[in-house]
Amino acid sequence: MKSHYRAVVIGGGVVGASVLYHLAKFGWTDVCLIERKILTAGSSWHAAGGFHALNADPNIASLQAYTIDLLSEIEKESGQSVGMHMTGGLSLAGTPDRWEWLQSAYRTFQSIGIEDVRLVTPEEAAALCPIMSPHDILGGMWADREGYIDTTGTVHAYAGAAKKRGADIVENNRVLELHQTADGWKVVTEKGTVTCEHVVNAAGLWAKQVGRMAGIELPVSPLNHHYLISDTIPEVAALDRELPLVVDLEGFTYMRQDQKGILLGIYEIDRDHWMMDGAPWEYGFELQKEDPDRIERELTLGFQRYPALQEVGVKTWVNGAFTFSPDGNPLMGPVRGKRGYWCACAVMAGFLQGGGVGKSLAEWMIRGEPEADVFGMDVARYGDFAGNKRFIKETTGQFYTRRFVMTYPNEQLPAGRPLKMAPAHSEMTAAGCRWGASYGLEVPLYFAPSEDFAEKPTLKRSNAFDIVAGECKAVRGGVGLLDISGFSRFEVSGDGAEAWLDRVMASKLPAPGRARLAPMLSETGKLKGDLTLFNWGDGTWWIMGSYYLREWHMRWFHDHMDPDVILRDISDATVGFALSGPNARKVIERLTDGPVGTLPFMGCGSFDIGLYRCKVGRLSVSGELGYEIHCAAAEHIGLRCALLEAGADLGICEYGFNALLSLRLEKSFGIWSAEFTQGYTPAQTGMDRWIDWDKGDFVGRQAALAERDGAGPAQVVAMLEVEDAGADASGFEPIWQNGRRVGFVTSGGYGHTVGKSLALAMVDRDMASPGTELSVHIVGQERKAKVIPVSPYDPEGKAMRA
C-alpha cells in the first residue's frame, strides 16, 4: 500500500470492485481498494446472484442492461470465470392489474431499446419452466438476458481486471478514521495512513459508519433476506436444459436453478431490520439463523408454485443482510461540503446494478458528470430529514415489504409521513385536501368533496378524475388557490451576486422588478435546471425551482460558488400561494392598495397583501392570469384565510398539483424529470429559446453553441393528441410510425379544458411536425396519436398576459 493515491475505494464487495475497475478503465490507474477483511466479506458472498431486466426506473433498467453486457467482458479481461448462466427469465403476473403492468413494462423496455423481451401466455410460461404450476397465472414477460452468476467469481473478476489495469487492492486492513484536508482526504487504516484526493464509500453493510467518519448521516439500513437451496429435485435433474430465473410477483418469490435443485428467495411481508447503525466490524462470513415461521406465508406460496419442493428437503438456508435505501435504489455521487467524498452505497442488487453504478460514478469523478441520467440513484435526492432513524426504518421496511407488491402511479404510500407540513396543512386537510409527498414535504394533490372519499389505486384514470376536472374548470373559468410551499426558493445576495448568476445561468438576467425563466447548464451543455430568476431590485435575487431538487441544486451551486456571494436556501422559511384564473386580479386587488394589479407579466415586487408584507411575482404555470404570493411561514395560515375570504363571492376554489399538471400540459409547459432532465440538452427540449447567446461566458456555453451551430439534436420534444380510451400516457411509452419506433412519451395526462388526452414526447426530429400520424402504447394497448401544435389551450398566451 502506497502512502498516496488519487482515489481510495473503501469496501471490497461487488460495488467497490466495480468502481475500482471503472476508475482504472477510464484512466485513473493510481487508485486503491481497501477492504477490512477479504473481498466479498459482507453481502456479496451470500447474494443469490440473479440478474434480470425489470426495473420501474427506465434509466436504472438501462444501467442494469449495461451490467449484464459487462459481465462477459470482465471475465475475458480478468481471466476469472463469473460463472454466468444465461438462462433467460420470467416475470409472472397473477392479477389483471399486474398483467396490464407487465404489458406496459414490456413497452417501456422497447422505449429504451431493450428488444430481447416478449410477453408470454400461461401455457408458454409453464413450458419454459416445467416444474412451475401455472395456477392463477394470467401471463408473463420473458427476457432473454436474464439468469445468474457466481457472486464470488464476479467480484474477483472485477478486482482482477482492475489490478491488470494498475489498481491496487489491500485486504485485511480496516479503515479507522477519515479526515478531510485541503487537498482531499486522510484515510487512517490499521496498516497506516493514506492520503488521497477522492474517497469512495462502497462499504455496504458498513456504509453507515464510513459515512459518519466524514460527518455524514446516510439514509441506509441493513435488512435480513432469506433464501433456501433445495436438495436434488428429480424433475430438475431429468431436464436437458437449465431452468430460467423466475420472479413470481404475487408470490413474493424468485427462483433459479442451483445444481440439480433450485434456489428459492423470498421478500417477506414481515421484514427484519438488522444492525441499523451498521454491522459489527468483525462480521463478514456469518449469517443469521433461519426463521421459517416469519416467512411461512411466502414459503407456502413458493411451495405451491413449485410443487416439486414438497417432495424434497432443504439443503441450505441463507438468512443474510443487505443494505437498503428508503426507495430501494442506490445512493451514489458526491456529497455537498465534502469535496472528494463519493457514495456508492445501498446497492441492494449489487450484481445487477453494480456495473452501472461503477461506470456512472467513475465517469462522474473523472469527467465531471455521468453519461446517463442517474438522479434516481443520486444521494442528493435525499436531504438531512432522511437521516432520522425512524424515517429510515419505516421507509426501508416499506420498500422491502413491497419489493414485489404492485405500486400504482396514483398511490400514496404512508411510511415516513407526515414529516414536513406547510403551516396551513391542518386547515387544508379540514377542507378536504389529499396529500402527496415531495422531499419529505406534504404537497396538495386535490381536494376531496367528502371526508369518506378514497382514491382507488389504478393504472388508468382514477375515481378522482372528475374532482380534478372540476378544479381545472374553476381555475380556467374563475380563480383557483394553490399552496406553493412545495417550490424551492434560494436567496442570492452579496457584492458578487449578479456576476455569479450571470455565469451559472444561461439566460439573460432579469431587470430590477422582473422575473425570467432561466435554464442552467452543465459544462457539457446538458440541462441542470429549469429555474425562475427574480430580481427584487434591492440587491437580492431569488432562484425558484422544484422542491425535491433542493439538495441537488444546492450541491451544484456550492460546487460553482464565488466567495463574494451569499446563498441561502429559504424554502422552508418562506412559503406561499399561487392565485390563478381570470378573476385572480380582482381577488388580489381587494387585499392591497398597492399597484399589484398593474404588475406586468413576469413582473415582481414587495407588496402589502392584507396584513402581510409579501413578495409577489406575476407568472403562472397554469397558463392563466396569475400571481405567486410568498410570505413568511408564520403568515401562511392567515394569508390563506385572507385570500379565500377575498375571493369567496367569486367562487374561489382551492386546487392541487394534479390539476396543475393537467393545466400545464394544455400549455405544453415541460417539467423537470419529464421533459427536462440532466440527460437532455436545451435544443432537444426547447429551452434554448431562453439562452442569451450574446452575453459573455456562462457555464455550458461552448457546448450549447456547438449544438446550436451543428446539425442539431436527433430528437426533440413535441405535443401529441392521443386517441381517448380511458387511460392516459404517463411516461416512457413507446411511439411508433408504421411499426418503427420513433420516440417515447415524456409525460402525459388528460387536458380537461380541451377535452383531450395529451402527451409530450421526445420524438425523431422529422416526426415532430404538426399533423404527423403516429401511435403510442398506453397500459400495453396501442392507440392512435398525432402531433399537434404546442399549447392546445390559448396558443397565443392571451389569458396569461391579460
Each residue of 635-648: pLDDT tens digit? 999 999 999 999 99
Residue 777 host element (H or E): strand 773-778
Q: Is the pLDDT of residue 198 over 90?
A: yes
In a domain, 153, yes or no: yes
388: Cβ–Cβ under 8 A, 6 or more apart, which residues?
none
Q: What's the average model confidence in pLDDT over 322-329?
A: 96
Regarding whether 322 and 260 lie in a shared domain, the answer is yes
Regarding whether 321 and 219 lie in a shared domain, the answer is yes
| Domain limit, last residue, from 680, 704, 733 | 680
Regarding whether 475 and 609 lie in a shared domain, the answer is yes
Could you tell me where the beta strands, DSSP code E, fall in 536-647? 541-546, 566-569, 574-580, 604-609, 612-617, 626-632
Confidence tier at 171 by pLDDT (50, 70, 90): very high
Specify the CATH number for the domain of residue 477: 3.30.1360.120
Regarding whether 649 and 522 lie in a shared domain, the answer is no
Q: Is 785 exposed, middle or buried (0-12, 13-18, 19+ CB in 10 A)?
A: buried
Regarding whether 120 and 41 lie in a shared domain, the answer is yes
| Domain limit, last residue, from 504, 539, 569 | 569
The three cell numbers of residue 771 are 399533423
**Number of C-alpha atoms within 13 angstroms, CB side, residue 465?**
17
Confidence at residue 55, expressed as pLDDT on a 0 to 100 scale: 72
The three cell numbers of residue 755 are 377535452
Regarding whether 66 and 13 lie in a shared domain, the answer is yes
Three-state SS for 200?
Answer: strand
CB 460 within 8 Å of CB 531: no
In a domain, 408, yes or no: no
Beta-bridge mates of residue 258: 261
Regarding whether 722 and 672 lie in a shared domain, the answer is no
DSSP letter string over 488-525? EEEEEESTTHHHHHHHH-SSPPPPTTEEEEEEEE-TTS
Confidence tier at 594 by pLDDT (50, 70, 90): confident
Confidence at residue 162, expressed as pLDDT on a 0 to 100 scale: 98
What DSSP state is assigned to residue 537?
Answer: S
Question: Residue 689 and residue 704: Cα distance in Å, rounded?
Answer: 12
CA–CA distance from 637 to each of 118, 360, 466, 634, 642 (Å)? 54, 45, 28, 7, 9
Regarding whether 553 and 456 lie in a shared domain, the answer is no
Q: What's the average model confidence in pLDDT over 511-531?
A: 98
In a domain, 375, yes or no: no
CB 551 within 8 Å of CB 383: yes
Residue from 593, 662, 602 nearest 628 by CA: 602
pLDDT mean across residues, the chain: 96
Core vs surface per residue 698-723: b (16+ CB within 10 A) or e: bbbbebbeebeeeeebebbbbbbbbe
Specify the CATH number for the domain of residue 731: 2.40.30.110
Give the chain's domain count. Answer: 4
Confidence at residue 65, expressed as pLDDT on a 0 to 100 scale: 87
pLDDT above 90: percentage of residues in the chain: 95
Specify the CATH number for the domain of residue 35: 3.50.50.60
Lowest-confidence segment of 272-276, 384-388, 403-407, 494-498 by average pLDDT: 403-407
Confidence at residue 21, expressed as pLDDT on a 0 to 100 scale: 98
Confidence at residue 58, expressed as pLDDT on a 0 to 100 scale: 77
| Domain limit, last residue, from 638, 654, 680 | 680
Confidence at residue 114, expressed as pLDDT on a 0 to 100 scale: 84
How do residues 122-148 score in pLDDT, each as one tens digit? 999 999 999 999 999 999 999 999 999
CB 332 within 8 Å of CB 377: yes
In a domain, 413, yes or no: no
How do residues 43-76 score in pLDDT, each as one tens digit? 999 999 999 876 767 788 888 889 999 999 999 9
Regarding whether 616 and 533 lie in a shared domain, the answer is no
In a domain, 602, yes or no: yes
Regarding whether 267 and 157 lie in a shared domain, the answer is yes
The three cell numbers of residue 664 are 400545464
Regarding whether 51 and 115 lie in a shared domain, the answer is yes
Residue from 204, 233, 146, 230 nearest 320 by CA: 204
Regarding whether 544 and 466 lie in a shared domain, the answer is no
Confidence tier at 296 by pLDDT (50, 70, 90): very high
How do residues 744-777 score in pLDDT, each as one tens digit? 999 999 999 999 999 999 999 999 999 999 999 9
In a domain, 386, yes or no: no
Question: Residue 215 and residue 209: Cα distance in Å, rounded?
Answer: 10
In a domain, 328, yes or no: yes
Confidence tier at 449 by pLDDT (50, 70, 90): very high
521: Cβ–Cβ under 8 A, 6 or more apart, which residues?
506, 527, 528, 682, 698, 699, 700, 701, 703, 704
Say what the pTM is: 0.96
How do residues 664-681 score in pLDDT, each as one tens digit? 999 999 999 999 999 999
Specify the CATH number for the domain of residue 564: 3.30.70.1400
The three cell numbers of residue 487 are 417550490
The three cell numbers of residue 395 are 421507509
In a domain, 708, yes or no: no
Residue 785 sits in which domain range? 714-794
How do residues 380-433 score in pLDDT, each as one tens digit? 999 999 999 999 999 999 999 999 998 899 999 999 999 999 999 999 999 999
